[in-house]
Amino acid sequence: MSADQFDRRDFLKRSGGLGAGVAIANRAFAKTAAKMNPARVLGANDRINIGLIGCGGRGSSDARTFTKYGDDHKNACQIVAVCDPYEKRKAQQASRYNAKGFTDYRELLALSEVDAVIVATPDHWHARIALDAMGQGKDVYLEKPMCHTIKEVKDLIDTVRESKCVVQVGSQTTSADQWWKAKKAIADGMIGKMIMSQGSYHRNSIEGEWNYPIDSAAGPDGKGEDHIDWAMWLGPAPKRPYDADRFFRFRKYWDYSGGIATDLFFHVVAPLNICWSKPQYPSKVMASGGKYAFHDEREVPDTFHLVAEYPEEHSLVLSSSMGNSQHIPGLIRGHEGTIIMVEHGKFEGSTPDITIRPELVRLPDKSRGPFPDYKFGKDEIKIPVDQYDMMQAHIGDFLKCMRTREKPHLDVETAAHAQILISLAVESYREGRVKYWDEKNWKAVDKPVKA
């Protein structure tokens, strides 16, 4: 079945009436469906059964990490079903895990033995599949970005609340120890009132970012493992003729991605919302940039910057280029000190110790020193950070929460604050104007919102 043939009643008939929540249109369906399709209660020795939806590079990497837990770990799991509209990718992963293979994700969701799904599709499918999964009582490991539109953010928040499903958003940086240590440092008053955070994500490559290899034999007319169900892949996106560049390099196009904002800035903003005093929605967002290095078919910029202001009198500045790899230090500035999160090297994959640098100010006697009542002294303070595989820790946290039903490290409500920021930044860039956030009416607006 292709995406342009989506018919809820027909699918329920084909799946034996396994639930009123497959292909849900909104959270009301999910609430009803979750009651009809409750999640399996996992015993201490039960192995968790995972369905992989999206068998490309990210999905196959996620699946390998899930299976690292093996049979002996308390969170042991296995891949039992896979789904992808590209026959070759589906066949490879199905063979690797001796799993059932599907082209239509709804058929995978109808499997009663599946406890949770990995959603590692292009961005424009994330919310719809996650909502449908929760409608079938499945927990979800939802790759970043959490979704593709602002409306989908609200749908996900409401559905998680009502279905009680566990959803971990897949920004593994939020499971790195440095952010939780920074959270405590801020709570302890080590930098005083927060003033500004800054971060960056820089890369460089000869071929241009997101120009992944293209399988020239693959496509809707391909035979056997070369076949791609293009209509299924497009799904809720605008209908277009098959384009190999769009399929294999989807992050270059607005229909399916937000480019740097959604692919990379999510990894910076999500952990900042962990360590700030509380997750925060921006009040004002401005973005700029352009295609400066790579003048190919891409629609998204290769260089992108944003500035955001928050109601708590705090700003955020992010900078990124795919044409230059020199890093800008990642830090959080306070009135009395600074937390330096990432001082040298690239942000990607690094977990350095945290440095607390007291703010030296001009004193009445014209000398320089820390604030007179600054209780942590004038010397730099190093806070050791535990070193471990943050990706494995993030997935392990999800598996643990599936058993305990606790809130995972990057739950949907925390991730929503990052998603709203980057969605507003994309709108600001594309429209060439400042965007403001109206939380009460849950929408982006072009004028400041009155308190």
Same domain for 91 and 194, yes or no, is no
Confidence of residue 342 (pLDDT cuts 50, 70, 90): confident
Domain around 424? 174-208+258-388+411-445
376 alpha carbon, distance to own chain's centre = 36
Segment 246-269, tens digit of pLDDT: 999 999 999 999 999 999 999 999
Q: Over range 184-197, report the average pLDDT.
A: 96
pLDDT at 70 over 90: no
Integer Cα distance of 332 and 355 in angstroms: 11
How many CB atoms are located within 10 Å of the residue 379 CB? 10
- 343 vs 424, higher pLDDT: 424
Same domain for 304 and 423, yes or no, is yes
Same domain for 268 and 417, yes or no, is yes
pLDDT at 23 over 60: no
Dihedral Cα 430, 435, 439, 442, nearest 10 deg: -30
Beta bridge partners of 445: 436
Maximum distance among all Cα pairs of the chain, rounded to whole angstroms: 82
Q: How much is the pLDDT for 89?
A: 98
Same domain for 275 and 191, yes or no, is yes
Whose tokens are 């009395």? That residue is: 336
With respect to residue 451, please indicate whether it lies within any of the assigned structural domains.
Answer: no
Integer Cα distance of 353 and 376 in angstroms: 18
With respect to residue 240, please indicate whether it lies within any of the assigned structural domains.
Answer: no
Q: Rounded mean pLDDT of the chain? A: 90
Same domain for 140 and 272, yes or no, is no
To the nearest whole percent, how much of the chain has pLDDT over 70? 88
- 161 vs 365, higher pLDDT: 161
256: CB partners within 8 A, 6+ apart: 122, 123, 124, 148, 237, 246, 250
Same domain for 44 and 148, yes or no, is yes
Q: How much is the pLDDT for 373?
A: 86
Is 25 exposed, middle or buried, given 0-12, 13-18 or 19+ CB atoms closer than 10 A?
A: exposed
Token readout for 158 is: 């409401």
**What single string gives the DSSP state of each residue in 20-43?**
TTTT-SSHHHHHHHHHHSPPPPPP
Q: What are phi and psi of 35, to 5 degrees?
A: -70, -35
Integer Cα distance of 80 and 401 in angstroms: 20
End-to-end CA distance of the chain: 49
How many CB atoms are located within 10 Å of the residue 72 CB? 6
Whose tokens are 């594309």? That residue is: 430
- Which of 136, 165, 194 marks a domain boundary? 165
With respect to residue 450, please indicate whether it lies within any of the assigned structural domains.
Answer: no
Whose tokens are 């360590």? That residue is: 275
With respect to residue 135, please indicate whether it lies within any of the assigned structural domains.
Answer: yes
CATH code, domain carrying 39: 3.40.50.720
Segment 217-252, tens digit of pLDDT: 999 999 999 999 999 999 999 999 999 999 999 999
Segment 80-103, tens digit of pLDDT: 999 999 999 999 999 999 999 999
Same domain for 109 and 178, yes or no, is no
How many domains would you assign to the chain?
A: 2
Cα dist from 362 to 120, 244, 313, 372, whole Å: 52, 61, 23, 11
Confidence of residue 344 (pLDDT cuts 50, 70, 90): low
Same domain for 161 and 298, yes or no, is no
Q: What are phi and psi of 82, to 5 degrees?
A: -135, 160
With respect to residue 58, please indicate whether it lies within any of the assigned structural domains.
Answer: yes
- Nearest alpha carbon to residue 97 among 52, 48, 32, 42: 52
Same domain for 13 and 114, yes or no, is yes
Asked if 92 and 55 count as a contact pair (C-beta separation under 8 A), the reply is yes
With respect to residue 217, please indicate whether it lies within any of the assigned structural domains.
Answer: no
Same domain for 129 and 195, yes or no, is no
Integer Cα distance of 350 and 352 in angstroms: 6
Q: What are phi and psi of 86, to 5 degrees?
A: -100, 115
Same domain for 180 and 160, yes or no, is no
Same domain for 343 and 440, yes or no, is yes
pLDDT at 74 over 50: yes
At what angle are helices 57-67 and 87-97 packed, to 10 degrees?
A: 10
- 28 vs 288, higher pLDDT: 288
Q: How much is the pLDDT for 20?
A: 38
Segment 366-383, tens digit of pLDDT: 888 888 888 999 899 999
Integer Cα distance of 89 and 82 in angstroms: 9
With respect to residue 219, please indicate whether it lies within any of the assigned structural domains.
Answer: no
Strand 381-383 versus strand 435-438 pairing type: unpaired
With respect to residue 242, please indicate whether it lies within any of the assigned structural domains.
Answer: no
- Which of 114, 143, 165 marks a domain boundary? 165
CATH code, domain carrying 291: 3.30.360.10
